């Protein structure tokens, strides 16, 4: 049954180059979007960039650029991922779009009107040594680790606060109503524990004179929205909210029947599954239906960091091994919701065993036999296997692909056991028909994960007369 499917990634903050962690997120999302498209759903797949805030303002200043110019440059880099990773999103939405800015302001008005925004005092922590504002998490024992001899100054600033503390019970209601709201389940427990504890209101504005690069607070130009507030609204402004009410209802859903799916990293759990939901509830808008939370990618057992020099650049891998090789690795060998390790050695091992010797070799050997047989193989309609659907409905990309690879192994065993290359006439054609059918099925099942590979195989195998092609995953020289 066809339906509307809304899917969004988080919006990466444009202060550095695209990271393999975001590649993971958007490739997972892309697999979901392609899956739903294959099922006949109407898919709205959104991604984009988050471009406001102090860090970006400072970075732009440092590099001598206008903030917008700086954002344009980075937005382009993220936009380039579409081709590099073969992404099927239809909406690339930037938080500096005028339409988004208007939407963020409308969101503010709604939340304010409902009584969930109030002025309060925000105590900014300022390190005189760094001449910078610090966050609690930056401090060690209440001191700046770079200037432990200097005291942190507290600068009281009048800000607007979001009355988060008033929304806990509404959030719990939502979690109760949808036990699978957060996937995996232990993340839902985690956020639930957090929400059940005493919630504190949080600041959602900054003084414009100190930080001009943000969305002006409606009716009070002395304040800019703190990036969070603006950035979260992007999930609905991308749908044309508040102007396009039909499209919003169609894809985002209604309060009775929420429909939106989000993916985010575990570092975003609180923002997406609690704060954003609280904002929606406060504004009287439907909450998100489900949020899939993915893990992090480590490199060599350690967090990626520039100083360790172990940062994985997804584009390097695309260039060297191809888009689908990277997509395969991230979907099949990275635990969808847990942390996983990524090293070049492991990647090459997988490339060789699974893609070269597994899928690539099977497709070649069967094509070679089919070509020699001179027979033709009528195309039959294939639809996505049930196992794949079941796995994808639970965001288990790795399980889905391991199922496909089990079938590749079976097909190889079949060829060897029957010694298909020695068979003649009907016996041979029967065996080949089986194999061709299985490979066509595999191609369909790979469509959400490795679209280009799936298409190559389909083209090669759907033409009745099958002939051998160049290797899809060539040996590494």
Partner RNA sequence: GGCAGGGUAGCUCAGUUGGUCAGUAGCACCACAUUCAUAACGUGGAGGUCAUGGGUCCGAAUCCCAUCCCUGCUACCA
Binding residues among 371-390 for RNA as defined by CB under 7 A: none
Residue 145 touching RNA (CB under 7 A): no
Span of 35-43, 79-87, 141-149, 359-367 interacting with RNA by CB under 7 A: 359-367
Residue 200 touching RNA (CB under 7 A): yes
DSSP state of 233: H
Q: And the tokens for 54?
A: 């102090």
Residue 267 touching RNA (CB under 7 A): yes
Residue 224 touching RNA (CB under 7 A): no
Span of 58-66, 107-115, 196-204, 444-452 interacting with RNA by CB under 7 A: 196-204
Residues 6 or more apart whose CB falls under 8 angstroms from that of 32 comprise: 7, 261, 263, 392, 395, 448
Binding residues among 230-259 for RNA as defined by CB under 7 A: 231
Q: For RNA, which residue of 5, 44, 122, 276 counts as binding (CB under 7 A)?
A: 122
Residue 283 touching RNA (CB under 7 A): no
Nearer to RNA, 3 or 189 (CB): 189
The two beta strands, 132-134 and 117-127, are: antiparallel
Residue 430 touching RNA (CB under 7 A): no
What minimum distance in Å lies between the beta carbon of 1 and RNA? 28
Q: And the tokens for 410?
A: 């079976």
Nearer to RNA, 289 or 352 (CB): 352
Helices (H), 114-252: 168-177, 185-196, 227-237, 245-247
The packing angle between helices 54-62 and 67-79, to 10°, is 100
Residue 468 touching RNA (CB under 7 A): yes
Span of 107-115, 244-252, 374-382, 465-473 interacting with RNA by CB under 7 A: 465-473
Residue 349 touching RNA (CB under 7 A): yes
Residue 361 touching RNA (CB under 7 A): yes
Binding residues among 325-344 for RNA as defined by CB under 7 A: 333, 335, 338-341
What minimum distance in Å lies between the beta carbon of 194 and RNA? 5
Q: For RNA, which residue of 1, 2, 137, 179 counts as binding (CB under 7 A)?
A: 137
CB 255 within 8 Å of CB 76: no
Q: For RNA, which residue of 5, 6, 10, 276 counts as binding (CB under 7 A)?
A: 10
Span of 72-80, 107-115, 377-385, 468-476 interacting with RNA by CB under 7 A: 468-476
| DSSP string covering 282-319 | HHT----SEEEEE--EEBTTB---TTTT----HHHHHH
Nearer to RNA, 38 or 152 (CB): 152
Nearer to RNA, 36 or 428 (CB): 428
Angstrom distances, CA of residue 158 to CA of 108, 135, 155, 163, 469: 17, 17, 10, 15, 68
Binding residues among 101-120 for RNA as defined by CB under 7 A: none
Q: For RNA, which residue of 2, 62, 64, 136 counts as binding (CB under 7 A)?
A: 136
The distance in angstroms from the start CA to the end CA of the chain is 47
Angstrom distances, CA of residue 225 to CA of 121, 186, 188, 222, 274: 15, 32, 28, 10, 19
Binding residues among 410-429 for RNA as defined by CB under 7 A: 412-413, 415-417, 420-421
Cα 96–98–99 angle (5° rounding)?
Answer: 110
CB 47 within 8 Å of CB 412: no
Measured distance CA(321)–CA(303) in Å, rounded: 24
What minimum distance in Å lies between the beta carbon of 456 and RNA? 10
Residue 18 touching RNA (CB under 7 A): no
Q: For RNA, which residue of 369, 401, 436, 466 counts as binding (CB under 7 A)?
A: 369
Binding residues among 171-190 for RNA as defined by CB under 7 A: 186, 189-190
Residue 198 touching RNA (CB under 7 A): yes
Nearer to RNA, 36 or 268 (CB): 268
Q: And the tokens for 329?
A: 């690795």
| DSSP string covering 134-159 | E-GGG-BTTB-TT-TTSPEEEEEEEE
Residues 6 or more apart whose CB falls under 8 angstroms from that of 285 comprise: 110, 236, 252, 255
Neighbour count for residue 170 (Cβ, 10 Å):
15
Q: For RNA, which residue of 6, 13, 93, 241 counts as binding (CB under 7 A)?
A: 13
Binding residues for RNA, how many (CB under 7 A)? 72
CB 44 within 8 Å of CB 9: no
Residue 477 touching RNA (CB under 7 A): no
Residue 208 touching RNA (CB under 7 A): no
DSSP state of 419: T
Binding residues among 21-80 for RNA as defined by CB under 7 A: 50, 52-55
Nearer to RNA, 38 or 446 (CB): 446
Nearer to RNA, 259 or 340 (CB): 340
Angstrom distances, CA of residue 13 to CA of 22, 40, 50, 404, 474: 10, 33, 5, 35, 36
115 burial class (0-12, 13-18, 19+ CB within 10 angstroms)?
exposed
Nearer to RNA, 37 or 300 (CB): 300
CB 56 within 8 Å of CB 359: no
């Amino acid at each position: 049954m066809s339906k509307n499917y809304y899917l969004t990634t988080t919006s990466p903050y444009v202060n550095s180059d695209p990271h393999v962690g975001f590649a993971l997120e958007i490739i997972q999302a892309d697999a979901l979007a392609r899956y739903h498209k294959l099922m006949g759903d109407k898919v709205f797949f959104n991604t984009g960039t988050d471009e406001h805030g102090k860090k970006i303002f400072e970075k732009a200043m440092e590099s001598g650029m206008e903030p917008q110019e700086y954002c344009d440059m980075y937005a382009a880099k993220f936009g380039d991922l579409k081709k590099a990773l073969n992404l099927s999103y239809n909406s690339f939405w930037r938080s500096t779009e005028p339409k988004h800015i208007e939407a963020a302001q409308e969101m503010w008005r709604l939340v304010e009107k409902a009584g969930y925004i109030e002025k309060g005092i925000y105590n900014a922590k300022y390190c005189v040594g760094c001449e910078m504002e610090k966050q609690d998490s930056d401090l060690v024992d209440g001191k700046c680790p770079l200037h432990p001899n200097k005291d942190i100054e507290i600068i009281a600033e009048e800000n607007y606060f979001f009355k988060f503390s008033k929304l806990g019970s509404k959030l719990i209601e939502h979690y109760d109503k949808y036990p699978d709201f957060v996937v995996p389940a232990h993340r839902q427990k985690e956020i639930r524990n957090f929400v059940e504890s005493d919630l504190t209101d949080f600041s959602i504005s900054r003084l414009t004179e100190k930080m001009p690069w943000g969305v002006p607070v409606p009716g009070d130009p002395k304040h800019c929205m703190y990036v969070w507030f603006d950035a979260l609204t992007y999930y609905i402004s991308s749908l044309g909210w508040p102007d396009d009410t039909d499209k919003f209802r169609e894809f985002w859903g209604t309060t009775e029947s929420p429909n939106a799916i989000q993916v985010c990293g575990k570092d975003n759990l609180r923002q997406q599954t609690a704060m954003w939901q609280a904002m929606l509830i406060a504004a009287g808008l439907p909450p998100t239906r489900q949020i899939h939370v993915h893990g992090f990618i480590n490199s060599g057992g350690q967090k990626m960091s520039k100083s360790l020099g172990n940062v994985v650049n997804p584009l390097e891998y695309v260039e060297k091994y191809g888009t689908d090789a990277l997509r395969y690795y991230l979907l099949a060998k990275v635990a969808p919701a847990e942390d996983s390790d990524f090293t070049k050695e492991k990647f090459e091992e997988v490339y060789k065993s699974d893609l070269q010797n597994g899928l690539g070799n099977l497709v070649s050997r069967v094509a070679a036999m089919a070509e020699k047989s001179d027979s033709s193989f009528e195309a039959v309609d294939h639809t996505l296997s049930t196992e794949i659907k079941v796995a994808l409905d639970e965001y288990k990309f790795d399980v889905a692909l391991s199922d496909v690879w089990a079938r590749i192994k079976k097909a190889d065993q079949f060829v060897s056991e029957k010694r298909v290359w020695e068979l003649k006439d009907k016996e041979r054609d029967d065996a080949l028909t089986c194999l061709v059918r299985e490979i066509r099925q595999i191609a369909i099942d790979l469509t959400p994960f490795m679209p280009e590979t799936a298409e190559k195989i389909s083209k090669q195998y759907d033409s009745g007369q099958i002939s051998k092609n160049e290797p899809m995953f060539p040996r590494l020289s």
